[in-house]
């Protein structure tokens, strides 16, 4: 590896700065970006929009590259030199630091992503009379890409990356049973609020659900009042506050999202009123969000209707709310109320620790990472933990790293 001008802490400074959306660069920086893309054209694209994907490296550098001791001391970030050194070594434990690099180009639009953060965006339609000087950062990318090209020419690049890339930068899966064996406290915590009877009943219901596409029976008549009562069953199963003192409707408005699209105003005992509301709702409310939460952390109870009649669909697959969702579902299923559990098979596998957990690279937030596992259905994602890292890495199954090649 040819030594580059920037050390890892300086590179990280540019990544933190540019990921905020800076897109205006001075003439010198733009000229160097042209040079960078000229070098990249020597490498065969590996995806849409002339995508090039590489692993770049930098040296950790000296502790002075990490920061100015006197400034950190005066600013209260550290209290002494020992703390300064410990901080530096904890941030950069290895002498060699790896950076995931992606460059795309489409109709003169250019974008560069480093360590999973967008750092360069060039839109030919956006004009600016000024721009930032990021020449040191781009020079580092140019030299690093040249190092990769040199390695490809020598037929060493792909093998070096495959053998040396640290596991925290890789993508893979680990059986939940193996993960929980390494961290038994996670198993204990997850199962702490559900009984063995609940687990066995849920597994039984999910085996039955696997054999069908929808519930077999239907609800003969549904009113707003009955819907509130169904919700109350779920609240009671989870011991929500107010179950013994509030009416079902009051429980719903205590625990649900509240944006009900007018549900509260219809006659509680009229099937006709509910049917009319169900098919003529306006707006973008959340009447089915019966246990409010975030975009991925709420619990829903949908009302669905087909040619056979009405049935319910429960949903709540997020790790932190799934036990609540399972108990909510069971409260209905045990009453022989037609209810379906979205993602029920996957949630059952999570209960028995027979599913897989997706491991995504450092720098990737472990949420909505389904695209990293196109041929598998994964509910939960993690970054490789620092604690017991070697054990987790040894138990994981890692995806192969995409090989790169040069144009002939």
pLDDT given for residue 2 in this prediction: 47
Separation CA 326–CA 345 (nearest Å): 12
3-state secondary structure 333-399: HCCCCCEEECCHHHHHHHHCCCCEEEEECCCCCCCCCHHHCCCCCCCCEEECCCCCHHHHHHHCEEC
Q: What does the domain layout of the chain look like in residue ranges?
A: 8-60+95-165, 184-351
Q: Tell me what the mean pLDDT of segment 206-217 comes to.
A: 96
Tell which phi-psi region holds residue 153, choosing left (phi > 0), alpha (psi between -120 and 50) or beta: alpha
pLDDT given for residue 282 in this prediction: 78
Separation CA 246–CA 253 (nearest Å): 10
Q: How would residue 22 be classed by pLDDT, with cut points 50, 70 and 90?
A: low
Give the Cβ contact number of residue 335 at 10 Å. Answer: 10
Q: Tell me what the mean pLDDT of segment 133-142 comes to.
A: 96
Which residue from 122, 249, 99 is spatially nearest to 169, judged by alpha carbons?
A: 99
Q: How would residue 124 be classed by pLDDT, with cut points 50, 70 and 90?
A: confident
Separation CA 238–CA 328 (nearest Å): 7
Separation CA 68–CA 289 (nearest Å): 51
Separation CA 24–CA 29 (nearest Å): 10
pLDDT given for residue 358 in this prediction: 98
pLDDT digits (tens, 9 = 90+) for 156-165: 999 999 999 9
Q: How would residue 228 be classed by pLDDT, with cut points 50, 70 and 90?
A: very high
Partnered with residue 132 across adjacent β-strands are 25
Which residue from 125, 130, 157, 124 is spatially nearest to 56, judged by alpha carbons?
A: 157
Q: How would residue 1 be classed by pLDDT, with cut points 50, 70 and 90?
A: very low
Q: Tell me what the mean pLDDT of segment 55-61 comes to.
A: 96
Model pTM greater than 0.85? Answer: yes
Residue for token digits 């549900």? 263
Separation CA 122–CA 83 (nearest Å): 41
pLDDT digits (tens, 9 = 90+) for 314-341: 999 999 999 999 999 999 999 999 999 9
pLDDT given for residue 4 in this prediction: 57
Which range (124-138, 157-171, 189-203) has the least confidence?
Answer: 124-138
């Amino acid at each position: 590896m040819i030594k580059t001008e920037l050390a890892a802490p300086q590179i990280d400074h540019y990544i933190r700065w540019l990921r905020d959306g800076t897109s205006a660069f001075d003439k010198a920086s733009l000229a160097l970006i042209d040079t960078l893309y000229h070098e990249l054209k020597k490498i065969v694209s590996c995806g849409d929009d002339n995508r090039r994907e590489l692993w770049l490296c930098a040296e950790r550098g000296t502790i002075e590259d990490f920061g100015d001791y006197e400034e950190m001391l005066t600013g209260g970030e550290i209290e002494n030199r020992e703390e300064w050194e410990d901080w530096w070594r904890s941030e950069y434990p290895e002498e060699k630091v790896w950076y995931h690099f992606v460059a795309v180009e489409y109709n003169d639009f250019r974008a560069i992503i480093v360590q999973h953060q967008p750092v360069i965006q060039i839109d030919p339609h956006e004009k600016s009379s000024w721009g930032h000087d990021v020449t040191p950062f781009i020079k580092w990318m140019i030299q690093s890409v040249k190092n990769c090209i040199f390695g490809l020419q020598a037929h060493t690049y792909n093998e070096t990356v495959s053998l040396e890339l640290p596991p925290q930068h890789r993508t893979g899966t680990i059986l939940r049973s193996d993960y929980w064996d390494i961290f038994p406290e996670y198993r204990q915590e997850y199962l702490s609020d559900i009984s063995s009877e609940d687990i066995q009943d849920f597994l039984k219901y999910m085996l039955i659900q696997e054999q069908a596409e929808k519930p077999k029976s239907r609800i003969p008549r549904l009113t707003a009042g009955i819907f509130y009562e169904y919700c109350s069953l779920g609240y009671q199963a989870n011991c929500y506050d107010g179950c013994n003192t509030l009416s079902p409707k009051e429980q719903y408005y205590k625990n649900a999202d509240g944006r009900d699209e007018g549900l509260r105003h219809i006659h509680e005992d009229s099937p006709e009123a509910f049917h009319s509301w169900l098919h003529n709702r306006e707006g973008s409310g959340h009447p089915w969000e019966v246990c409010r939460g975030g975009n991925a952390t709420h619990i829903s109870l949908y009302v669905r209707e087909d040619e056979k009649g009405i049935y319910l669909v429960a949903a709540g697959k997020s790790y932190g709310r799934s036990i609540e969702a399972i108990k909510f579902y069971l409260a209905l299923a045990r009453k022989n109320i037609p209810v379906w559990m979205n993602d029920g098979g996957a949630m059952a596998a999570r209960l028995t620790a027979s599913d897989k957990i997706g491991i995504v690279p450092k720098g990737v937030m472990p949420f909505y990472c389904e695209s990293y596992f196109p041929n598998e259905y994964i509910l939960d994602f993690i970054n490789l933990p620092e604690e017991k890292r070697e054990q987790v890495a040894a138990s994981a199954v890692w995806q192969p790293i995409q090989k790169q090649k040069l144009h002939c």
